[in-house]
Amino acid sequence: MAHDLYRRTPPGQHPPNRFDGYKSTASRSPTRPAVVLPQTLSEITGPLRRDERLGAQENDLTRQRMGEPLGERIVVHGRVVDEAGRPVPNALVEIWQCNAAGRYHHPGDQHDAPLDPNFYGGGRARADDNGAYRFVTIKPGAYPWGNHKNAWRPAHIHFSLFGPAFATRLITQMYFPNDPLLAYDPIYNSVPERARHRLQAAFDMDGTQPEWALAYEFDIVLRGRNATPMENGHG
């Protein structure tokens, strides 16, 4: 559509709504095609959460309770950018995850693994002017789920981003590099093969803090703007 501010996403980037290996999608996926909507003010605006004041410890999940949580302390950092590589400045980044034993601090999680009173598993960070964000947390554990026989979720951290508009809203999951469980996970594998690797963080030796924590880098790419007539040379 000629007037769309944000680029239309070509096929092959996101999972299908229905993915047979992930059983819950069967009854929760629309079967009719989505109606293509020209981007109006309703779609090119969206919550920026600029007035949201974050607490000092919100991006350090190891310091939100009385003591230190059990597990392997890690730094997770990266940049929020658009498809052209431009930073999404001041983006609000929300994460949540299970503890090192593979258990969520959530009443619905009944997995037979210990809760950690020092780990609730939720955090928020505000990206800086260059889109850079940073969390300190512990490495989440793998856990079983009932999707199929002997199903285990690979270790992952959930990420939620608004971006600049309603059209750019994204919820995703970050995985750890070379996790052997990735090959068996239908949620990860619901993503078209050539795009899957974008969900894996990179081990970041340079970001590691000696004597303290390993580091992983996870860049998040949100929908970008269409070139303006000026930029593409036709203006």
- Active-site residue numbers? 104, 143, 153, 156, 158
Q: First-to-last CA distance in the chain?
A: 18
Residue whose CB is less far from other proteins, 72 or 195:
195
Tell me the C-alpha distance between 147 and 110, whole Å.
15
Structure tokens at 132: 């850079």
For residue 160, give the H/E element and its range: strand 156-161
| Residues 162/168, Cβ–Cβ less than 8 Å | yes
CB of 139 to other proteins, least distance (A): 17
CB of 232 to other proteins, least distance (A): 20
CB of 211 to other proteins, least distance (A): 27
Q: Return the residue matching tokens 């949580």.
A: 69
Residue whose CB is less far from other proteins, 41 or 66:
41
CB of 51 to other proteins, least distance (A): 7
Structure tokens at 174: 């970050």
What does residue 193 show for φ and ψ, rounded to 5 degrees?
-55, -40
Tell me the C-alpha distance between 32 and 217, whole Å.
37
Residue whose CB is less far from other proteins, 148 or 197:
197
CB of 205 to other proteins, least distance (A): 15
DSSP state of 100: T
3-state secondary structure of 185: coil
Residue whose CB is less far from other proteins, 67 or 197:
197
Of 79, 100, 88, nearest to 220 (Cα)?
79
DSSP state of 206: G
Residue whose CB is less far from other proteins, 112 or 211:
112
